[in-house]
Amino acid sequence: MIDAPDAEVLREEAEERLRALAGEHAVLRDDQWAAIEALVVDRRRVLVVQRTGWGKSAVYFVATALLRELGEGPTVIVSPLLALMRNQIAAAERAGIRAVTINSANPEDWEEIYSQVADGLVDVLLVSPERLNNPDFRDNVLPELAESAGLVVVDEAHCISDWGHDFRPDYRRLARLFEELPPGIPVLATTATANARVTRDVAEQMGEDTLVLRGPLERESLHLSVVRLPSAEQRLAWLAQTLHELPGSGIVYTLTVAAAHEVAGYLREQGHEVAAYSGQTDPAERLAAEEALLANKIKALVATSALGMGFDKPDLGFVVHVGAPQSPVAYYQQVGRAGRGVERAEVILLPGAEDRDIWAYFASLAFPPEPVVRATLAALEERGVMSTPALETAVDLSRSRLEMMLKVLDVDGAVRRVKGGWEATGEEWAYDTERYTRIAAERRAEQEAMLGYLTTTECREHYLRRHLDDDAAHPCGRCDNCTGRHRSPDIAPQAVEQARERLSRPGVELEARRQWPTGLPDLSGRIKPELGAEPGRALGRLTDIGWGNRLRELFHGGDGPVPDDLLRAVIQVLAAWDWRERPVAVVSLPSASRPELVRSFGERLAQIGRLTYLGELGYRAGSPGQQFNSAKRVQAIRATLAMPKDLAGRVAECGGPVLLVDDRVDTGWTMTLATALVRHAGAPAVLPLALATVS
């Protein structure tokens, strides 16, 4: 024990802690020590802006160890990366730091964790930013935690600033937390991606006397290039042709979930080991995919920006973007995941003409116009507490946009999250036109800068770092513009033809689920292959511009026989389906809301395709209702979905692959569990088919 923080003794101590954490040869760099000293000795607020891999977690774990030794309370870390911090937590535990997490996946443990914190048994408490939005946590737990904390850490702090490209409503609460925090509790905010304005804004929100430590963002292994190809099929073909030449394993980023699945599907057809990854991928599958990439078991993850913050693979060999992100800052953040621990990493951008339409689409998802917000507030005032699904029927916004708007209104004090949904507080609320206009203008400027990157003839790294206000930026000598070695846009004509064929194929692939969700007592890990499905098909995505409109119209109406135009289109999907073995029979799923639609869909398909219609699965008692997480959903479906005895007999008798049909696939769990029932009854293969899919 040391009585008073003496800087020299402390540095010795810090070095020792670092060695326990990172190995016997680890040495604190001066800038890391500067941050630790400011926190532990001066008890200041510190904003660290350093490139990924600089060692931010070492700073907060070492500072935690020192503060705990001085008798201070535990460190509270707010981080969106909890799931990805497993390695760091394990390292901290080896160094004698006890870390626990509070997130939506472990509610049964919270009480126990709070009492451990109160008893001084916890050194680090990790909290997801979404927790800050939970009324009980926000009102009762957080103030107490903050009061007794020895250190407060905010990871990915650029999300606090609405000047940033990645602003998150949950983070706005942090500004208030900073204000209310008792003096003398040190605060560390860290980010790898902040230009001068975002840095200034975050520092201001942290408080007047914030110390800003900002380092150069250069990464000497990155080789940046841009390949401009006019059509989507050319980009797909170019990627399929080039992927095996790229070093190691890497990430292929796409702008949309649909594109991630499309690109992954095509690359797999061309013999590449890749997997799709998006925010809609189930947590268990995401984890399995991340681990496959970390272990170099696959060539690439084809991912949306959901694969992002905190994903740490030092030997990541390449990052390819099919479609340009909206800002140089976002782009530099994503490519910065490559080449942390290797000498050379390839960074390639394949921009598309449609990128700007996609940007415009995302822009249209920004904060809704005033009349929509007013209508929401009026509905809440009139009807009291409403759930999000109930609000969806009153306000014409998508689920994600509605939730985003409610979070903003919550932080502004106009609504409140309560048991059973949301209620209006009755507090006066003003539509901040100036703020939304300013943010929109900022986005447009960023987009212009990104378009400039595509055509610039100057050093690409210099260009990006300049947009991050990195004063140390200089020509890199490695990018295509510096070296004059531009990647060849040549592609074999038959490869382009194959890609075109793939893109014009009617229907959407339904990827079978491969992992059970976590948190179930009796199901976990991989779904047994003998209970699994073949790749399936849907006519279209509800979000698509093409069939999406027609399908949304169908689902807005009531039940009825399957419409002829949709049936004709599905026949085309069947005709283009490259199944391994032709199905011989059809089974339909039971439907609580559209029994006639689903049954007639199955029967008429069987009729037209000369297949045997075997019948429909049943519900034991009532339908499973609605659940919002996979584990609950799976439990509810297992409790209700049933295979009637006579149907099981007919499935066993028919002996061939079965087409399993439903009207729409949302989470995919009904289809997955129905497949398992049909396979269990003796079908050698199951091919899922739906009119619509949400992903």
Among candidate residues 223, 221, 243, 226, the one with its CA nearest the CA of residue 487 = 226
Residue 123 or 461 having the CB closest to Zn ion:
461
Contact letters for Zn ion, residues 39-78 (x by CB under 5 A): ----------------------------------------
Among candidate residues 179, 135, 128, 119, the one with its CA nearest the CA of residue 154 = 128
Quick check: 479 binds Zn ion (CB under 5 A)? yes
CB of 284 closer than 8 Å to CB of 516: yes
Residue 394 or 482 having the CB closest to Zn ion:
482
Q: Minimum CB separation from Zn ion for residue 149, in Å?
A: 44
Residue 411 or 459 having the CB closest to Zn ion:
459
Q: Minimum CB separation from Zn ion for residue 53, in Å?
A: 20
Return phi, psi of residue 4, to 5°.
-125, 145
Q: Minimum CB separation from Zn ion for residue 198, in Å?
A: 24
Residues shown for the chain: 695
Q: Minimum CB separation from Zn ion for residue 336, in Å?
A: 15
Residue 478 or 513 having the CB closest to Zn ion:
478
Q: Which parts of 655-674 interact with Zn ion (CB under 5 A)?
A: none
Q: Minimum CB separation from Zn ion for residue 323, in Å?
A: 22
Q: Minimum CB separation from Zn ion for residue 317, in Å?
A: 19
Residue 473 or 476 having the CB closest to Zn ion:
476
Q: Minimum CB separation from Zn ion for residue 485, in Å?
A: 11
From residue 371, alpha-carbon distances to 281, 374, 429 in Å are: 34, 5, 13
Helix, coil or strand: residue 357: helix
Quick check: 476 binds Zn ion (CB under 5 A)? yes
Structure-token pair, residue 137:
């946590």
Structure-token pair, residue 662:
């439903």
Near Zn ion by CB under 5 A, which window of 435-443, 468-476, 661-669, 670-678?
468-476
Helix, coil or strand: residue 577: coil
CB of 620 closer than 8 Å to CB of 640: yes
| HEC string for 405-436 | HHHHHHHHCCEEEECCEEEECCCCCCCCHHHH
Residue 464 or 674 having the CB closest to Zn ion:
464
Quick check: 218 binds Zn ion (CB under 5 A)? no
Residue 117 or 479 having the CB closest to Zn ion:
479
Near Zn ion by CB under 5 A, which window of 94-102, 239-247, 482-490, 573-581?
482-490
DSSP one-letter string for 467-533: HTT-TT----S-SHHHH--PPP----HHHHHHHHHHHHSSSEEEPPP-BPPTT-SS--SBPPGGGPP
Near Zn ion by CB under 5 A, which window of 65-73, 161-169, 380-388, 479-487?
479-487
Q: Minimum CB separation from Zn ion for residue 34, in Å?
A: 30
CB of 158 closer than 8 Å to CB of 193: yes
Residue 59 or 479 having the CB closest to Zn ion:
479
Rg (CA), the chain: 27
Quick check: 458 binds Zn ion (CB under 5 A)? no
Among candidate residues 447, 482, 443, the one with its CA nearest the CA of residue 226 = 482
CB of 120 closer than 8 Å to CB of 68: no
Q: Minimum CB separation from Zn ion for residue 222, in Å?
A: 9
Structure-token pair, residue 356:
């700007």
Near Zn ion by CB under 5 A, which window of 278-286, 324-332, 344-352, 474-482?
474-482
CA angle 631, 670, 594 (to 5 degrees): 130
Q: Minimum CB separation from Zn ion for residue 459, in Å?
A: 3
Residue 206 or 476 having the CB closest to Zn ion:
476
| Alpha-carbon span 676 to 665, nearest angstrom | 16
Q: Minimum CB separation from Zn ion for residue 324, in Å?
A: 18
Residue 197 or 474 having the CB closest to Zn ion:
474
CB of 351 closer than 8 Å to CB of 460: no
Among 459, 569, 676, 678, binds Zn ion (CB under 5 A): 459
Q: Minimum CB separation from Zn ion for residue 223, in Å?
A: 9
Near Zn ion by CB under 5 A, which window of 83-91, 192-200, 417-425, 451-459?
451-459
DSSP one-letter string for 63-113: HHHHHHHTT---EEEE-TTGGGGHHHHHHHHHTT--EEEE-TT-GGGHHHH
Q: Minimum CB separation from Zn ion for residue 124, in Å?
A: 40
Near Zn ion by CB under 5 A, which window of 439-447, 461-469, 484-492, 608-616?
461-469
Q: Minimum CB separation from Zn ion for residue 288, in Å?
A: 37
Distance of alpha carbon 455 from the chain centroid: 30
Near Zn ion by CB under 5 A, which window of 45-53, 478-486, 584-592, 653-661?
478-486
Quick check: 482 binds Zn ion (CB under 5 A)? yes
Task: List Cβ neighbours of 400 (8 Å cut-off, separation of 6 or more).
Answer: 365
| Alpha-carbon span 107 to 137, nearest angstrom | 11
Residue 468 or 685 having the CB closest to Zn ion:
468
Distance of alpha carbon 675 from the chain centroid: 27
Contact letters for Zn ion, residues 623-642 (x by CB under 5 A): --------------------
Quick check: 473 binds Zn ion (CB under 5 A)? no
| Alpha-carbon span 402 to 389, nearest angstrom | 10
From residue 282, alpha-carbon distances to 350, 364, 515, 614, 629 in Å are: 28, 26, 8, 31, 9
What number of other Cβ atoms are within 10 A of residue 391's Cβ? 21
Residue 372 or 482 having the CB closest to Zn ion:
482
CB of 290 closer than 8 Å to CB of 318: no
Quick check: 122 binds Zn ion (CB under 5 A)? no
325: amino acid identity, one letter? P
Q: Minimum CB separation from Zn ion for residue 347, in Å?
A: 11
Residue 233 or 461 having the CB closest to Zn ion:
461
Q: Minimum CB separation from Zn ion for residue 483, in Å?
A: 8
User: How many residues belong to the site for Zn ion (CB under 5 A)?
Assistant: 5
Near Zn ion by CB under 5 A, which window of 339-347, 430-438, 470-478, 573-581?
470-478
Residue 481 or 672 having the CB closest to Zn ion:
481
Near Zn ion by CB under 5 A, which window of 37-45, 243-251, 460-468, 612-620?
460-468
Q: Give Dmax over CA atoms of the chain in angstroms.
A: 85
| Alpha-carbon span 551 to 54, nearest angstrom | 49
Residue 285 or 346 having the CB closest to Zn ion:
346
Residue 476 or 658 having the CB closest to Zn ion:
476
Structure-token pair, residue 692:
């619509």
What number of other Cβ atoms are within 10 A of residue 365's Cβ? 12
Q: Which residues bind Zn ion (CB under 5 A)?
A: 459, 461, 476, 479, 482
